[in-house]
Chain A
Amino acid sequence: MVVKVYGPVAAACPQRVLACLMEIGTEYEIIPVDLQTGEHKKPEFLARQPFGQVPVIYDGDFKLFESRAIIRYLAAKHGGHIGSNLLGRTIEEKALVDQWLEVEAHNFNDLVYTLVFQLVVLPRMGKRGDLALAHSSEQKLEKVLDIYEERLSKSDYLAGNSFTMADLSHLPGIRYLVEDAGMGHLIRGRKHVSAWWDTISSRPAWKKVMHLLN
């Protein structure tokens, strides 16, 4: 059984799904989608994902979109005991994983998205980014990362002492911040966040995703 993933490897949300697939060792096939030519906003793709966003997956005939729903499904359905550890084994562990997945989605992601969009995406398109907006997002992200620093001073990973989906979900965004947006200081300036980033980004599964970028 091969899971089909529609989306460019370079984009953050497909990377979230690929990281999960690598962790659980499920076979996959990538069908690229050309964001630059607006392929994702054309009728053929909109029939797959009505919001015109990547990624979309097909597991046989079963289709899903929204990367954070996809990773939960893949881990539950195909992940075996690895998947179970990634999601949380007990209801309480799952709740903590969900809590930090929600933090990533609601407190972290939008700020990172704004920063990357203004500092990386717009300039690549030959347009001017809004530096004031980028700066204000950076300041808010500093406050959020202070909370992560406090959390990670008490546990090795966000939801406890094992690597889970909550940590995995951060990988693409932080990579963009550090490698493309020139925001490495946000991570390196915080001892525990920095150590956590080093640990999670050196996982073999993430390295395999990075290898696909080259």
Chain B
Amino acid sequence: MGVVKVHGIPLSTAAMRVMACLYEKELEFELVPVDLRAGEHKKEPFISLNPFGQVPAFEDGDLKLFESRAITQYIAHQYAGNGTPLVCPDPKKMAVVSVWMEVEGHQYDPAASKLTYELAIKKFLNATADNAVVEEYEAKLAKVLDVYEARLACCKYLAGDCFTLADLHHLPTMQYLMGTQAKKLFDSRPHVSAWCADIMGRPAWSKVLAMQNKA
């Protein structure tokens, strides 16, 4: 294994997604800070690591990657023998993990990220939330969480009996939203609420949060 580096900051949801995965796999890594306020992510040398100018970027020896969900999948497969299993070798089981990873990316994340920005990130930036946007996106997230409530009534985790990347990918925005008025959307759905408490209580996730306190 080469030297593993994550270029980003502990407050970035996408960087947190990658770090959660690294902690679950019990892998050593270095977090290389990127000064977002100074626009470091839009210039060289960062742009060479991610031409879209977004955090995180990732290095494992000579391999360079961007897009957090591609990075977590690489880590989960490359280090399948380390730490928590996060993917499945059986194609059918893996396909179900894929389905719910896609659901997180396409159904959950657009609403959750928008709300995270309005209700949490804007606070850091001393800006006011746009109530019309909050209302619209809370309604969208509510519909998605209704589907999750039905799914989690039959399965402990999204892809079945075991915690996988499909669950892990939700953690960063979930964590932010639990500190805002949007918490009610999760708390009011018993299976979703139990699932959130379970995955947010994982030791690896506490290590990601500890990085925010150090920053």
Partners in one complex: yes
A interface with B by C-beta (< 8 Å):
50-51, 62, 64-66, 68-70, 72-73, 76-77, 91-92, 94-96, 98-99, 101-103, 105-107, 110, 144, 147, 150-151
Contact of A66 among B69, B91, B98 (CB under 8 A): B98
Whether B51 lies near A91 (C-beta < 8 A) is no
Q: Which residues of B contact A (CB under 8 A)?
A: 51-52, 63, 65-71, 73-74, 77-78, 91-92, 94-96, 98-99, 101-103, 105-107, 110, 144, 147, 150-151
Give the residues in chain B near A73, CB-CB below 8 Å.
91-92, 94-95, 98
Tell me the smallest distance from the CB of A72 to a CB of chain B, in Å.
Answer: 5
- Decide: B147 and A50 in contact? CB cutoff 8 A: yes
Interface of A is mostly: helix
Chain B residues closer than 8 Å to A96, beta-carbon distance: 65
Question: What are the residues of chain B within 8 A of A150 when measuring CB–CB?
Answer: 51
Sample of 28 A–B contacts (CB below 8 Å): A51-B107, A64-B95, A64-B96, A65-B99, A66-B98, A66-B102, A66-B103, A68-B98, A72-B95, A72-B98, A73-B91, A73-B95, A73-B98, A91-B74, A91-B77, A91-B78, A95-B70, A96-B65, A98-B67, A98-B74, A99-B67, A99-B71, A102-B67, A102-B69, A103-B52, A105-B105, A107-B52, A151-B51
Question: Which 10 pairs, one residue from A and one from B, show the smallest C-beta to C-beta distance?
Answer: A66-B102, A102-B67, A69-B98, A73-B95, A98-B70, A95-B74, A99-B70, A69-B99, A50-B147, A102-B70
The 8 Å CB contact of B102, one of A69, A99, A147, is A69
Which residues in A have their C-beta under 8 angstroms from that of B92? 62, 73, 77
User: B-side binding surface: helix, strand, loop or mixed?
Assistant: helix
Q: Which residue of B lies closest to A96 (CB)?
A: B65
Closest-CB distance, B77 to chain A (whole angstroms):
6
Chain B residues, CB < 8 A from A70: 95
Q: What is the bound-complex CA distance between A102 and B152, given in angstroms?
A: 26
| Number of A-B residue pairs at CB separation under 8 A | 85
| Chain A residues in 8 Å Cβ range of B106 | 66, 105
Asked if residues B101 and A69 are in contact (CB atoms below 8 Å), the reply is yes
Q: Specify which of A50, A69, A91 is in contact with B95 (CB 8 Å cutoff).
A: A69
Complex Cα–Cα for A24 and B151 (A): 31
Question: Which of B71, B99, B105, B144 meets A106, CB within 8 Å?
Answer: B105
A110 / chain B contacts, CB cutoff of 8 Å:
110
Give the distance to chain B from A34, nearest Cβ to Cβ, in Å. 22
Look across to chain B and name the residue whose beta carbon is closest to the beta carbon of A69. Answer: B98
Tell me whether A94 and B51 are in contact (CB under 8 A).
Answer: no
Which residues of chain A are within 8 angstroms of B150 by Cβ–Cβ distance? 50
Chain B contacts for A101, CB-based, 8 A:
70
Partner of B73 from the list A64, A98, A107, A147 (CB cut-off 8 Å) is: A98
List the A residue with the shortest CB-CB distance to B101: A69
Task: Point out the residues of chain A lying under 8 angstroms from B94, CB to CB.
Answer: 73, 76
